[in-house]
Each structure stands twice: as C-alpha cells, then as structure tokens.
Chains A and B, each alone.
Chain A
Amino acid sequence: MKELFPAKQVGGYIFSLVLTIIALLVYFLDFTFPIAMSILLVTAFVQATVQLVLFMHAGETEDGKAIYTNVLYGIIIAVVTIIGSLLILIWDM
C-alpha cells in the first residue's frame, strides 16, 4: 500500500494545501490591496509550479527544455495580454 503513495506526491499535495490556506488569509484577514495581491500572486504561481514540476513531470525527459520554453512562452503571452490590456483600458496610461 505504501508504495502507492510516494513521498514526493504526498508532499506536493500537502504543500499545495498549505499554499491554498495561505491564499485564504486574504479573505479572513484585512490586508491592504497591494499586500493581498502580492500574497495571491506568490501562492498562485508557486502552486502552479508545484503542479508543473512535481505532478506533470515537465522536466523529466530530454524534451524538458522544449516543454519549459513552451510553457514560459505561453505565460509571457498571457502576462503581456493581461497587463497590456489593463494598461490601455483600465489604468489609462
């Protein structure tokens, strides 16, 4: 039975739960907006990384580099799309 629950996966799961609970603090406590957003950005991206590296085995084979490059490219386009649109349409810059 024990061999079905590798420490790496169980650890990743517990770490994700902890990160979710830290993120929840912004709901239960009164942080200022910049601090709350910083907490959310850190917990969300760390948790996404845990999924990518631990659960999705992204870097496991020789294709790891291509996979990470591709994901990074996706993230860059995502950030540019979101921040760029907000700059023009919401923040009026």
Chain B
Amino acid sequence: MKIDHTQPLEYGTHQNQLNILGFWIFLGAEIMLFATLFTAYFIMEHRTGNGPTGPEIFEISPVLIETFVLLTSSFTIGLAVHAMRIGRKKAMLAFLGITLLLGLGFLSVEIFEFMHYYHVGATYQTSGFTAALLTTLGTHGAHVTLGLFWGLSIIIQVAKDGINARTANKSFIFSLYWHFLDVVWIFIFSFIYLKGMM
C-alpha cells in the first residue's frame, strides 16, 4: 500500500481518498432524504386535527440543551480529527469519548422529549402534524443512535491499532457523519422548533 505523505493520513492512499469522496456522495443522498422529511413536515405542520399544535407541545429548554450539546459534540469531534492529524492518539481518543458522551446526552434529552410528547397526547397516530414531526425527529435520532455504536467501534479500533492510514480514514469518515448530523439538527432547530414557537 503506497502512502502519500503530502496528504493528511486519512487521504494517504488512493482507496482512502475514494472512500471519503464516496461518503460525501452518501451525505448528498442524506440531504435529499431529510429534504423529503422536511417536505412532509411543512405540508402537515398545521394539520393537527383534534391533537395539539406545535406551539402547545414544543418546549424551549430541552430543545436548547439538545442544540448546544450537539453543537459542542460537533466541535469536539473536529478537535479529535485535529488531534489525529498531529498524531496525538490519547487526545484523539479523549475527544472521541467526549463526543460520544455528548451524543448520549443529546439522545437522553430527546427520549425525555418524546416521553413528554406521549404524555401530552402527541403520539404517532394523533395527527398529520405529529406523525410528520415524530418521523423527522425520529429519523435524526436514529442516525445519532447509529453514530454512537459506530463511534464506539472507531474508538476500539484506534485504541487497539493506533493511528494508521486505515483507522485515520475510518475516523475521518465518522467525523463527517457526525458533523452532518449537527447540520441536520441546525435545520430542525430553526425550521421546526423556532419557526413553530415564534
């Protein structure tokens, strides 16, 4: 395997470069996936039937916690990639660990939020609005859940094998995924919650 040392390690081999480009193409498809969910949400937004409306069930504090926790985790995984690039394995693992803990924190608040919706009578079957809302939030939450397991397996591999072209590539691709989840959340935060509460 030929490693090009003029590039960061995660791009070092031709295969690595292709992996990263391929993952970006997957993220392009993910943009479109979430676009369809947002489409359904915007259409169903006011079709609340006999169920509650957005302003009645949205609460600002859990949403703010989720937003700041996920934004911070996006920052810490950026630091993990930076630590990886300067060859600091321990720091990289620490930042990855913090990222996943923040991800877990985000998920806990989201589960708490879903329980709140259930208690105020906003379930999947209540109305077009709640169905579209919970599908959109749930799809994002499912992505975060997957990310937690993926991230954990990355931590194990880096801890075992150290930073090499293979693990660096995998870690970098995972960081792309995690940043992307924060990008999606920015739009959920702005156009579902803030728009719904203003």
Contacts and interface: CB of A to CB of B under 8 A. Distances in A.
A45 to B, nearest CB: 9
A74 B20 CA distance: 17
A19 B176 CA distance: 21
A4 B38 contact: no
Interface of B: 7-8, 11, 17, 20-21, 24-25, 27-32, 34-36, 38-39, 42-43, 60, 64, 67-68, 71-72, 74-75, 78-79, 81-83, 86, 88, 91, 175-176, 179-180, 182-183, 186-187, 189-191, 194-195, 197-198
Given A71-B27, A82-B35, 12 more contacts: A4-B82, A12-B75, A17-B71, A36-B198, A41-B190, A44-B187, A47-B183, A51-B74, A51-B186, A52-B183, A70-B25, A74-B32
A51 B175 CA distance: 11
A55 B198 contact: no
A55 B182 CA distance: 11
Nearest to A1: B91
A44 B75 CA distance: 17
Contact of A56 (B35, B176, B190): B176
A31 B198 CA distance: 8
Given A9-B79, A20-B71, A77 B194 contact: no
B190 A43 contact: yes
A16 B88 CA distance: 26
Interface string A57-69: 1101101001100
B43 A81 contact: no
Give me the 8 closest cross-chain CB pairs, A-B, nearest first: A78-B35, A74-B31, A74-B28, A13-B75, A44-B190, A40-B190, A55-B78, A70-B28
B183 A81 contact: no
B16 to A, nearest CB: 10
Contacts of A13: 71-72, 75, 78
30 contacts: A3-B86, A4-B79, A4-B83, A4-B88, A5-B79, A9-B78, A9-B82, A13-B72, A20-B189, A23-B189, A23-B190, A26-B194, A43-B190, A44-B186, A44-B187, A51-B186, A54-B78, A55-B78, A56-B175, A56-B176, A56-B180, A63-B17, A67-B21, A70-B28, A74-B31, A78-B34, A81-B36, A82-B39, A86-B42, A90-B42
